[in-house]
A = this chain, B = another copy of it.
Amino acid sequence: MRAFVIVGHRAVTAPTFTLKDLPGSGGRLDILLRSLNASLFLSHSIRRDVRTYLVLLGPPNAPRTIRFDGASLQHANPDERSLAILVEKALKTLVTGHYWQTSTPGVAISARGLEDLDDELKGLTPTLLEEGGADAFTHPWPSDVAVYVGDHEGFTESELAHIEKVREAPRVSVGPRALHADHAITIAQNALDRAAAASASGTSPTQ
């Protein structure tokens, strides 16, 4: 199982955005939608072993977390507008505290923030995807992993303290250039796919 936890510090927490302006009206919701795509989609199929959590921390109802479960996800197309409509439907769903309320098949929402996801991620090794870490292509990935990814603002100090100190997540990086969150996730998935294939065949991940 792979989980991706993606934090959007300005992403709106009510269905107030317009599909005509996801970056502006959605608080850079576009970044989260592309990150969702990068974590879940294969060519002609969905990664059934992935759960992606979009942590929305913008106005007016923060925090909200939307969970996409690859194993049961339906009606998901890779284009931004289609994924935005799934987020809109989730934000229109009545939320009761930390309980996961299903909005559409495979999609659920709750009033959780980053720290409230720890029980969800039990059994998965926490890993921080951020600049200045070990190389993703030589990192010894476990098969069950929870990958934390920041938006264009990265992480706050208290978020980093939770991920790196409380959760003891090692820091892993994808390469020599600073990339958008979705591109970093695509590369991390490739590194994870290579680690899984190498583990199955006993070879090196970049062989």
Contact = CB atoms under 8 A, between A and B. Distances in A.
A81 B190 contact: no
Interface stretch (A40-48, A52-60, A94-102): A40-48
Interface string A72-109: 00000111111000000000000000000000000000
A125 interface: no
Interface in A167-202: 174-180, 183, 186-187, 189-190, 193-194, 196-197
Contacts of A113: none
B174 A78 contact: no
Contacts of A174: 190
A197 B193 CA distance: 24
Contacts of A177: 42-43, 193
Interface in A1-39: 19-23, 30, 34, 37-38
Contacts of A81: 20-22, 80-81
Nearest to A180: B43
A179 B20 contact: no
Nearest to A154: B43
A190 B193 contact: no
Contacts of A44: 152, 178
B179 A43 contact: yes
Interface of A: 19-23, 30, 34, 37-38, 41-44, 77-82, 135, 137-138, 152, 174-180, 183, 186-187, 189-190, 193-194, 196-197, 206-207
22 contacts: A20-B81, A22-B79, A22-B81, A23-B77, A34-B37, A38-B186, A42-B179, A80-B81, A137-B137, A137-B206, A175-B193, A175-B197, A176-B197, A177-B193, A179-B190, A183-B186, A183-B189, A183-B190, A186-B186, A186-B187, A187-B187, A206-B206
